[in-house]
Structure formats: structure tokens, C-alpha cells
Structure 1
């Protein structure tokens, strides 16, 4: 029993640091691309490249983790992801930023492998609660990361410092894994939307993203209880999708920064629970077989949104600062229709 407990504790530590490394630099990429001369559409293309590569690499890396072991696969993914962020830090043009995202798009699967590891060591009847805690842990990284990244970004050469720091964190993560184990349209271009719509600074954006991270962390701990209360994950997913449509519509037509932040609260709540419940439904249906491969194909589906949403978000910003949230609401409505037409389990009513 000692081994699984150690794996679980260190996996939580790893996940905190992993999301911290991502969150310090991710909110700044769109703005930095614009500063280097990229249009909103080109900025969207840079963002879409990551999702495009993830679509193809996710099943391959997932299968790799099934065959070679989660820990071995995780170490190499972290090292190569660190290199990707280091290249991003020294990129001096939109084209070089585009190139720097290639290694990350191929090998940044640490979260997928971490979840696969979680299913290896946690019983099915405790999976919702465990996933909720892990999503809460990931939100802690998003609380601190944007704050620190936003402050550093406003210093001379700030983006380069932040990107290199992210690379160093991923490299450190690989060391932690080694010694301990032997361990999408609305949010895309979010900071660019905030800058275009409310003229916010990187520091203010950092505080806003940290606030949503705090909300996600708090609600992550309730995910297991909410799932057990519903006793029907498919119904819960549908209701959360409806909540997401409502909040995105309000966010589209809110022109007060304070009200905008207020409506981010239910959006963070709903998106946190959606991640937990959809992952649990996937694991239960997979019946514990080839979890890494299954997670990889699931990540490929998510990558479709990561391919389309940055480009679509950037294109929408050419016309309106409310465009991304309106598109997000529309696509969620389509998802609700699909869920109603094709229920996700026999108990759906």
C-alpha cells in the first residue's frame, strides 16, 4: 500500500508544479505574439498549432505510456516540454514562436499521463473524488502562476524571463518524477480579449486568472459530492453544459469589468466539474483497459477544439471583443443538442 500512496502524493505535487509552469506563460503568449507584429488571426494560428499536433500525438504518447510505463514516458515528455518553453523564450518573431510550439504540441502530455496513473492506483468507486482533488490541485498552479507571470511580464524582457522560468519548472518536474518514482474557445486568447475589451494590463490579467483558479480549486474538492448526489454523470454533464451556455452569453454582453469577473465564477465552477465528470465517465466505460491509450484518444478529441478555437477566437476578435464568448456559447448549445439526441448512458432521462 505504501507504493500507491507515495505515487499519489508525488503525483499531486507534480501536477501542482506542472500547471504552475504552464500558467505563468500561457496567458502571455497571445499578447507577446501581437507585440512581435502578429495579427489576431496569426496569433490564433500559433495557438492552433499546439492543438493540431496534440490531436495526432495524444494516442501515440498514451500508448507509449501503456507499453513503456507511465514514469518513463512522463520524464521524457517533461524534458522535451521544457525545451519547447525555452525555445519560446528566445523566439524573436511570430514565425519562431510558431516553431517553438512544435515540441510542446508533440510531447506536452503530462496531464494525460498523470490522470492515467491516477486510474492505476485509485479504485473506481473513489475515482470522482480523486479526480476532483486533482483538478483542485491543478487549480492551485493557476492561482499562483498568472500572478507571478503577470508581474514578471511587466519588467524589461519580461516574456523571455517568464518563458525560460516555465522551461526550468518543467525540467525540475522531470527531476522530481525521476527521484520520487525511481513521478478551449473562450479561454483561448483570453488575455488578448481582456486587453481588447477592457484594456487590462498583464498584471491585472494575472489577478483575474488567479481568481478563476481559486474558484476552480475550491469547487474541485466538491466534485465527488456533486457527482454522487446526481448519481447520473450524463445528466450532470448536460446540466453543466446548460450553465456554461448561460454564463458565456452573459459574459458576451457584459461591458463592466466587475460584472465580467463575477460571471467568471459560475463558468469556473461548471468547467471544473465538467472535466471531472467527463473523465470519470470515460474511465468507467473503458473498464480499466489500456487507460493510457484511451486517455490519448480522448485528448485527441480535445485537441480538435485546441486546433480550431485559437484560430476561430483570433478571427472573431478581428470583428468583436465579444466574439469568442458568443462562439463558445453557440458550440456548447450544439453539444447540448447532441447530448439530448444521443444520451451518454442508459440511465439518462
Structure 2
């Protein structure tokens, strides 16, 4: 159990504010980071390598950051990691060396786990029957941030010293988030089971906790999380090029498709609690099955769409299903996690996502070189239908249990 000391009227709305500010800051600068790196002489390979290395460090550090939050509290780790990121973004705006920028980005890759820690906070404080709605609201605010951030960032980037201005703005947003966390996030303390208290005192290192988790129980949630992330990252890696090559859209026209996704994701996230009641079953694996199937169907439609109108409409079921999947997968993940190791298991789940983020772009790039730009959507559909198949098998197994 967790001790909580925060005003009842605040509830957990502050988590959504933290998520929103975090992703607004990210979406301000990340979409133009590659362009900035190219402007200072970095090659395409160097830009891609830095992105992949960042993902690899997210994989390595996710479990450790989650475990640290179990030991020292979510609030303390959030304050520490976001403060480091705020300083790092300010430094990014000053330095012009690719090597130094790479060092700063790799430091960020080790500590930037705000979304992970916010998901753990939801599981800490929200009653189980309300968690789907809470995750939906979190995803809704996340989607809205990606409508605002890229638009503002694009305009700022066009000014003189645009990247420096963007880096400073991002740092300010992160510092504002630090203030929000300081004022609103409760100091949650894990109360360990008395039977394991003495053992945890003797073995207080997060690394020792790795041996105490029954990882065999985690593989269904981790597998579904990896397949869902793989399908979406393959999509993200191919959509811009596919739109340009298939429909010859300008960057501003292509931006409207992103706005539609953000708007749809926002509506879906805020409506997740209501959508939950439409299901005639409570098994989260069954809900994942239908969501994965809808996701795969949407990707197939993208690959085969003859007009930009059909292409844009296909983004709606993709956004709806991917938003719901994140909530359902978190529901499965936290059902199997004990209070003592909740952050550790959530961190491991984030590391699984980082694996997909590292591998999917490479597979997608190879597929698109061989079969064309639309084949990236087919790869996404394969991952999604694999997730649907696995969800169906796990649903039958859980019913038998």
C-alpha cells in the first residue's frame, strides 16, 4: 500500500498536467533536432545512429529508473531527472559540436522517463476500476501536446537563432514542470510486506530486486507491449516519406494529417472510460485482441489507399486502437506487479518499448528500400496482427485459468 498526503480535490489531475508539459517540451524541439544536426554537418547516418543509441540507453535505464522510484519515491526521481533534462536542453541550444550534442542527448537517454513514472503514479493512486479512464486521459493530454508543440516549434525555428530559442523554451517548459511536480506530487512511500521487510533492508540495491521478480509472469504483457510499439514505430518511420511519395503533399498539408491524429487521440483518450463500458467482457487480453485487429486493419488500409482522403480516414481507427492499447497493456502489466516492485516492472516494460524503437526503424527502412514506401505500413500490420493472435491465445488461456 501507499501513504498519500495530498488534497482530495486535486485527485490525480496533476499527473495529466505533468504529462502534457513534458510532451509539449519534447514536441517543440525533437521534430527539428535532425534538421539542426544536419545544419552543423552531421550525416544522415550520424543522425540515425544518435537516435538509435538514445533508444538503446532508454532500454538499459528504464528498469533501473523504475526501481529507483520504488526505493526513493516517484516525486524525488521525477524532480531529479526533469531537472537534469532541463539543464541538458539549455546546453543543447548553446553548443554547436555534434559530438557534444551527442553526449548531452545520451545523458538524456539515461534519465528521461517522465511518462514511465507518471504511469506508475496512476497505478499508485488510482483505484483499479478507474485506471483505464485515467490512462485514457493521460493519453488524451499526450495527443493534444503533439498538436501544439510541433506548430509552435516550427514557427520558432524559422526565426534567427531559432534552435537556440527552441532549446531555451524547452528548458523553461521542463523547469515549469519541475515546479508543478514540487507543488503537487505526493510523497508516496512504499510500505513493504512485513514478511519481506527484513530481506529488503538487507538487500536494498535495485539490482537485487531483479532477482525477486517472477519474470515468467511478465512475458505476456511485455510481448504485447513490444508488438504494439513495433507496429507504431514502423508506422512513424514510414508515414512522412509515404505521404510525400504517394500523394506529393507539402509539409504544411502533411501537418494536417498529424493534427487529425492528435485530435482523434485526444478524443479517444478522454473517452476511454466510456469506451470501456462498451465491451461486454472485462478480460484485458480480449480488449487487446480487438484493438490490435483494428490497428492492423487500419495499417492495411493505409498501404492500399488510392486517395489522400481514404488515407486520412484510415488514421482514425489507427489512433483510436493504439490509444486504447496503451491503456489495456498497462492494465495487464500492473495486475501482475506487486507494490514492492511496481516501478521495477514498469521500467522493464519501458525497456521493452525501447527495444522496438531501436529495431523497428531498421526493419522498416530495409523493407521500404526493397518493396517501396507503402510496405512500411504492411510491416506495421504484420506486427499488429501478430499482437491480435497472441492476445487471442492469452485470452483463451486466462479464461481456462
State whether TM-score is above 0.5.
yes
Matched, 1:3 2:7: yes
- In terms of mean alpha carbon deviation, does 99-108 or 249-258 score higher? 249-258
Of 345, 364, 377 in structure 2, the residue corresponding to residue 325 of structure 1 is 377
Note the alpha carbon deviations across 1:237-283, whole angstroms, 9 max, x for none: 11111111111122223364443222211111111000111111211
- SS across alignment from 2:296: helix
**C-alpha distance in 2, partners of 1:106/1:266?**
34
Matched, 1:303 2:354: yes
Which residue of 1 is the match for residue 124 of structure 2? Answer: 120
**C-alpha distance in 2, partners of 1:316/1:185?**
10
Which residue of 2 is the match for residue 236 of structure 1? Answer: 287
The answer to whether the 8 A contact 1:47-1:310 is kept is no
The answer to whether the 8 A contact 1:238-1:336 is kept is yes
Deviation of residue 30 (structure 1)?
4.2
**C-alpha distance in 1, partners of 2:155/2:244?**
16
Question: Residues 317 and 16 from structure 1, CA distance in 2 versus in 1: closer, same or farther, beyond 3 angstroms?
Answer: same
Of 257, 276, 286 in structure 2, the residue corresponding to residue 208 of structure 1 is 257
Which residue of 1 is the match for residue 145 of structure 2? Answer: 141
- SS across alignment from 1:229: coil
Of 263, 272, 283 in structure 2, the residue corresponding to residue 223 of structure 1 is 272
Q: Over aligned residues, Cα RMSD in angstroms?
A: 3.0
**C-alpha distance in 2, partners of 1:66/1:302?**
20
Deviation of residue 171 (structure 1)?
2.2
Which residue of 1 is the match for residue 165 of structure 2? Answer: 161
Matched, 1:334 2:338: no
**C-alpha distance in 2, partners of 1:88/1:254?**
40
Which residue of 1 is the match for residue 302 of structure 2? Answer: 251
The answer to whether the 8 A contact 2:286-2:392 is kept is no
- In terms of mean alpha carbon deviation, does 194-203 or 6-15 score higher? 194-203
In the alignment of these two chains, the number of paired residues is 349
- Unmatched runs of 5 consecutive residues or more in structure 2: 188-232
- SS across alignment from 2:119: helix
**C-alpha distance in 1, partners of 2:396/2:150?**
36
The answer to whether the 8 A contact 2:289-2:389 is kept is no
**C-alpha distance in 1, partners of 2:14/2:96?**
36
Equivalent positions of 1:1-349 (< 5 A) are 2-3=6-7, 5-6=9-10, 8-33=12-37, 42-90=46-94, 92=96, 95=99, 97-181=101-185, 184-188=233-237, 190-191=239-240, 194-195=243-244, 198=247, 200=249, 202-230=251-279, 231-254=282-305, 256-316=307-367, 318=369, 320-343=372-395, 346-347=398-399
Note the alpha carbon deviations across 1:60-110, whole angstroms, 9 max, x for none: 100111111111100111112223433444564665554332122111111
Question: Residues 84 and 313 from structure 1, CA distance in 2 versus in 1: closer, same or farther, beyond 3 angstroms?
Answer: farther
Question: Residues 312 and 152 from structure 1, CA distance in 2 versus in 1: closer, same or farther, beyond 3 angstroms?
Answer: farther
- SS across alignment from 1:187: helix
The answer to whether the 8 A contact 2:19-2:115 is kept is yes
